[in-house]
Structure 1
Amino acid sequence: MFNILLIEDDTSLFTEIESRLRQWSYDVHGINDFSKVMERFTEIKPDLVLIDIQLPMYDGFHWCRMIRAHSNVPILFLSSRDHPTDMVMSMQLGADDFIQKPFNFDVLIAKIQAVLRRVYNYSSEQTNLKTWNKATIDYEKNSVSNSVGTVELTKNEIYILKALIEHKNRIVSRESLMQSLWNDERFISDNTLTVNVNRLRKRLGEIGLGDRIETKVGQGYIAIEEENR
């Protein structure tokens, strides 16, 4: 049974989401004191976090930053706000998806299942280290290390990197990445993929590998590995 932390201050919506998720055997936990979200997060140790943007005390973006400072747990935003910058901001902060209110509960369940399947099945299958451009990629720790240093990646970032490296020096189409990453491309925007790849490139740039992920306009992305580089 997966633990889900639902950070939502609308009592009726919380109750409805909790009821629907429990029908799928998810263990759902809420927040009583919105000034102590991190204390609750540490107590629950959730496998996934659902979080609204508009909350008492501090907004969802604040708590996403706090969670990401300590954990790579999957985060899905729920929001009635429809401004594109909210989606972009959530992805830049490391969220895995953004769900617009009001939403269809079947879509919500599908998104949750896709993220959990991707994150936890993927993590359990990866036991080996990968070498790429003289850097060591640890799929279990979601990290990339070389002589310059080490960077930690989110689940989405490490998955994108893995997909690109598996086809290194070959173009991987955007459609292929979206379909494999989110399982059903209808549930994700083209812009969200761009944000995730740009964030991955920025993180790799901290250890001198940012230019190893190239954009091929109108085609997709390519992970470059030159021999004896």
Structure 2
Amino acid sequence: MFRILIVEDDEVITKALCKQIETWGYIGKGIHDFNHVLDEFNEFDPHLVLMDITLPFYNGYYWCTEIRKTSKVPLIFISSASDNMNIIMAMNMGGDDFVAKPFDLNVLIAKVQALLRRTYDFSTVQNNLEVHGAVLNLNDTTLNYENQKIDLTKNEVRILSTLMENSNRFVSRDEMMQALWETDEFIDDNTLTVNVARLRKKLEEAGLENFIITKKGIGYRIAE
């Protein structure tokens, strides 16, 4: 059952959100002490956070930054400060989406469900993928190899999981971009090249040299 933390100082909004969240079978919880949001976040260990920008003591940008130091949990900003500058700041600070107040509860829940689906559904079939002793954990987006834990971006996980699921063959660049299109980012041929290069560098630093090989005009695959 998904747990959703609501960082919102308006009790009416918090109660309405909790009621709507529980209607869909999730667990909703509001913040009690706005001076210690991170402590309550760690204690509740949510699957998703709804974060207002204007809060007592510290604003939502501050708490988002603090959360991002230790967690990649999906986070949706909800705020009446919905000018372009605030939306851009919200995304740059680590937010995954932005919903302007006043909002329709059904629309917000639809966004919550979509983000939960994108973040967690791919792990329900298989939590780990293993090739040549390297274990990709789809739940916490890390690669484990010889007692080392490598943190990966969302795109790097998509690339590596696609290759590991098809480790017996070359995966074309078109297939790879199709997998990456499932994220919210625009992916073109050059972006794929950059992402693969960054991923290779991380793998090499962990001792996995030549883990991903390229065949010009064909695509990528995990080395045999």
- Per the normalisation by structure 1, the TM-score is 0.67
Structure 2 residues without counterparts, runs of 5 or longer? 205-211, 213-218
Identity %, equivalent residues: 34
1:89 aligned partner: 89
Report if the CA contact (8 A) 2:159-2:179 is conserved: no
Letter of the structure 2 residue corresponding to residue 225 of structure 1: Y
Q: Could you say if the C-alpha distance between residues 150 and 22 of structure 1 is closer, same or farther in structure 2, counting changes exceeding 3 Å?
A: closer
1:29 aligned partner: 29
Matched, 1:225 2:213: no
Structure 1 residues without counterparts, runs of 5 or longer? 182-191, 213-223
- Out of 156, 179, 185, the position equivalent to 1:193 is 185
1:142 aligned partner: 141
Matched, 1:47 2:47: yes
Report if the CA contact (8 A) 1:48-1:116 is conserved: yes
Q: CA separation in 1, counterparts of 2:199 and 2:46?
A: 28
The structure with the larger Rg is: 2
- Per the normalisation by structure 2, the TM-score is 0.68
Letter of the structure 2 residue corresponding to residue 171 of structure 1: D
Deviation per residue, 1:164-218 (Å, 9 max, x gap): 757944236989855x34xxxxxxxxxx6249x79x9497486389xx9xxxxxx
Q: CA separation in 1, counterparts of 2:92 and 2:185?
A: 11
Alpha-carbon distance, 1:226 to partner: 7.5
- Out of 174, 183, 186, the position equivalent to 1:171 is 174
- SS of the equivalent of 2:50 reads strand
Q: CA separation in 2, counterparts of 1:89 and 1:168?
A: 36
1:161 aligned partner: 159
- SS of the equivalent of 1:171 reads helix
Alpha-carbon distance, 1:157 to partner: 3.8
RMSD over aligned Cα atoms: 3.8
Considering Cα pairs closer than 8 Å and 6+ residues apart, tell me whether 1 or 2 has the greater RCO.
1
Letter of the structure 1 residue corresponding to residue 47 of structure 2: D
Alpha-carbon distance, 1:71 to partner: 1.9
Q: Aligned residues, how many? A: 200
Letter of the structure 2 residue corresponding to residue 207 of structure 1: K
Q: Could you say if the C-alpha distance between residues 113 and 146 of structure 1 is closer, same or farther in structure 2, counting changes exceeding 3 Å?
A: same
Alpha-carbon distance, 1:121 to partner: 2.4
Q: Which segment is superposed worse, 58-67 or 94-103?
A: 94-103
Alpha-carbon distance, 1:160 to partner: 4.4
Q: CA separation in 2, counterparts of 1:139 and 1:107?
A: 28
Deviation per residue, 1:61-81 (Å, 9 max, x gap): 211121121222221111222
1:218 aligned partner: none
1:207 aligned partner: 202
Deviation per residue, 1:88-121 (Å, 9 max, x gap): 3333333322222222222211111122223232
Letter of the structure 2 residue corresponding to residue 95 of structure 1: G
- SS of the equivalent of 1:110 reads helix
Report if the CA contact (8 A) 1:153-1:203 is conserved: no
Report if the CA contact (8 A) 1:75-1:97 is conserved: yes
Q: Which segment is superposed worse, 159-168 or 40-49?
A: 159-168
Q: Which segment is superposed worse, 38-47 or 113-122?
A: 113-122
Q: CA separation in 2, counterparts of 1:162 and 1:85?
A: 34
